[in-house]
Amino acid sequence: MAIVMVVTMALLVVLVRERFRAQATADLSLNLRRSVIAFRDLQQDRFDALERENSLLASLPTLKALMTSGDDLTIQDGAVEYWQLSGEDLLALTTPNGRVISVYSKVPEKGTNLPSALSTLVAQPARRNIVDGKTLYACSVRPIYFGSDVSGTILGYVISGMSIERSVRQISAPAGAEAAFLSGGRVVTSTLSASAQQNLIAQLGPLSGASLSPAPLALGGDRYMAAVDTLSSVDSSPLQLVVLKSVRPTEKWIARTDRIVLSAGLIAVLVGAICMVILGRVLTRPLEELSRSVRAFGAGDGAYRVPRYGTREVRHLSSAFARMREETQRANQARLESERLATIGLMASSVSHDLRHYLAAVYANAEFLASDTLPPDERAEIFADIRSAVLGTADMIESLLIFSRTGSSVRYAEEKVVPILEHALSLVRAHPDSQHAIFEKDFCHHEDLIARVDGKQVERAVYNLLLNACQAGLIAERVPHVQLSLRLSGDFFIVRCVDNGNGVPEAIRMRLFDPFVSEGKQKGTGLGLTLANCIAEEHGGEVVLVSSSTGETIFEIRMLISPSAGPGAADANQKGSHALVH
């Protein structure tokens, strides 16, 4: 959003600048045209006034009498009074054929071509302007008649002129502009400096025609807008007025406006960014908390606080999530309850058959023992059957108890691993299912291995694994052949058990470690592998089915070795890693 605002503000500054520049150029052009038109109107008014004054002079009887004298000196002496009476910058009297008799001018230094220029005015009545050196005059020519203006005789001409320099100052001062008069490709009079006048001549050249449409010019390192107006096109050298106005004040005003707009834009962007950050925090904070609530619920924390503030949509979403979480927790609780009941039912159905079998054996053999006619050897056999049934019942009950309290009574201690395995082997050999079993063990180079474990739990896990291996051989109707070995792998010690059964059926491989899962056994609870896996997980490991095929099934129990193992553990680890191959 900040980038969008900055780009938008930059475009706005450019558009405002161009708009201001176009408007300023238009205003400047309009002012220039108005200045030219104002000068034209002013010049016309002054010329009209000059015509009226000159007409009054030409109709004066005394001037007519002076012209009838025919003497140039008399006319020259008498013309001074009329020049002072008119108050104009130039006064001249000529003969009817245009010869100049007397000339009076307020300009100290008159040019040498002034008489010829005045004669030209008489010969060409349409001309209004003459140039004398660096002085430009606007002139009025009136004939002096002896008698009436219609039927009288022309005694001569009276010429009155006004200097244009005053007009230049009248134009430039109020409008804040520069003005220049050009005639014959040179500057006659101007308010510009000498160097600027030379640049003006070089850029404009000989001007022809009138152009009130302003155009840009560069004079002396400054830029101007110039408008040209042709004041007289009938003169031999057309007189043109050039009005110029510097664009520097306008550019300074545009630059100042740019800075103001840019500063306002930056302040707006800064304030907008702060407001967006605050607004973003107000809008996103409840969403972040809601996201954390969802992650916490996914991790199992159902009590994490759900935000109850924020926008209406966020509050609605939070309420919906809270309801969903409550419904999910209720559904999970109901599912756990149903699973618990299903587990109890499954356990009851799995245990009831074996339990009834053991109890029936105890009950029947007890009846046989009630007879006094049994010989001692049969009585000893019946006692052995009763003892086997009682041990089987005790073993079943112990498995159920261990399954129900797994993880709640683990007591870790530093113990040697090999004695735990040896004791598990001795317990399995005492079981009826392993009476004819053949056991092989390989604990070489690991007699001193010490691990921080719960010895009773590890012994139970290995015992269950070995008993399953013996029962697998019996189910395959083979003499059970079981191999038990110990090896090391990094931070783990691995107990491998290999049997010669028919392998694990495909139907139960995916749920091999679920409780009460068994296949092909006539007795047992189906908790052996489940308990072994739970005990391995409590010791940072797991039970893995490495391979399963007819005649060879390999299970491994992997457990972590405590970092505080005994002195011989490190050497035993290093030896074992080279002595045994997986």
Task: Quick: pLDDT tens for 312-321.
Answer: 887 888 888 8
Cα 130 from chain centroid (whole Å): 73
SS3 state of residue 338:
helix
Please tell me the distance from the alpha carbon of residue 182 to that of residue 200, in angstroms, as a whole number: 10
Rg of the chain over Cα atoms, rounded to whole angstroms, equals: 63
The token duo for 554 is: 């390999």
pLDDT digits (tens, 9 = 90+) for 204-257: 654 444 455 677 777 777 787 777 777 665 554 567 778 787 777 777 877 887
d(CA 205, CA 24): 27
State how far the Cα of 250 lies from the Cα of 342, in Å rounded to an integer: 93
Task: Please name every residue paired with 180 in a beta bridge, in sequence order, or none if there are none.
Answer: 190, 242
User: Residues of the chain with pLDDT > 70: what percent?
Assistant: 80
At 512 the three-state DSSP class reads: coil
Mean pLDDT of the region 106-123 = 76
Smallest CA-to-CA distance from 524 within 433, 428, 406 is with 433
Instruction: Give the whole-angstrom CA distance, residue 455 versus residue 413.
Output: 8
Q: What is the pLDDT of residue 578?
A: 34
Contacts for 325 with CB less than 8 Å, ≥ 6 apart: 297, 302, 306
Please give the pLDDT value at position 554: 92
Residue 294, pLDDT > 70, answer: yes
Which run of H or of E encompasses 573? helix 567-579
Residue 74, φ and ψ in degrees, nearest 5:
-65, -40
pLDDT of 402 > 70? The answer is: no
Transcribe 15-82 into DSSP letters.
HHHHHHHHHHHHHHHHHHHHHHHHHHHHHHHHHHHHHHHHHHHHT-HHHHHHHTT--HHHHHHHHHHH
- Sheet strands side by side (includes 552-560): 438-442, 481-489, 492-499, 552-560, 542-549
Predicted confidence band of residue 348 (pLDDT cuts 50, 70, 90): low
218, β-bridge pairs:
223
Does residue 462 surpass a pLDDT of 80?
yes
What average pLDDT does this structure show over 64-76?
86
Identify whether the C-beta of residue 498 lies closer than 8 Å to the C-beta of residue 553.
yes
pLDDT, residue 345, reads 66
Mean residue pLDDT of the chain comes to: 78
CB 242 within 8 A of CB 226: yes
Angstrom distance (rounded) from CA 522 to CA 392: 13
Confidence tier at 89 by pLDDT (50, 70, 90)? confident
| Residue length of the chain | 582
CA distance 455 to 529: 18
Cβ 143 vs Cβ 150: under 8 Å:
no
Mean pLDDT in residue range 64-91: 86
**Contacting residues for 220 by C-beta, under 8 A, at least 6 apart:** 193, 195, 196, 199
Say if residue 408's pLDDT is above 60: no
Question: What's the confidence (pLDDT) of residue 521?
Answer: 57
Element housing 548 (H / E): strand 542-549
Question: Does the pLDDT of residue 167 top 60, yes or no?
Answer: yes
User: Where do we find the tokens 């014959």?
Assistant: 184
Please report which helix (H) or strand (E) contains residue 474, including its range.
helix 455-475
Q: With b meaning 16 or more CB within 10 Å and e meaning fewer, what string describes 204-213?
A: beebeebbee
Pairing of strands 438-442, 481-489: parallel
pLDDT of residue 385: 73
SS3 assignment, position 563: coil
Q: Confidence band (pLDDT; 50, 70, 90) for 570?
A: very low
List, in order of start, the domains of the chain with CATH numbers: 326-405 (1.10.287), 410-579 (3.30.565.10)
Distance (Å, whole) CA 230 – CA 582:
113
| 166 SS3 class | helix
Structure tokens at 572: 């035993």
pLDDT value at residue 68:
87
Q: Is the pLDDT of residue 139 over 90?
A: no
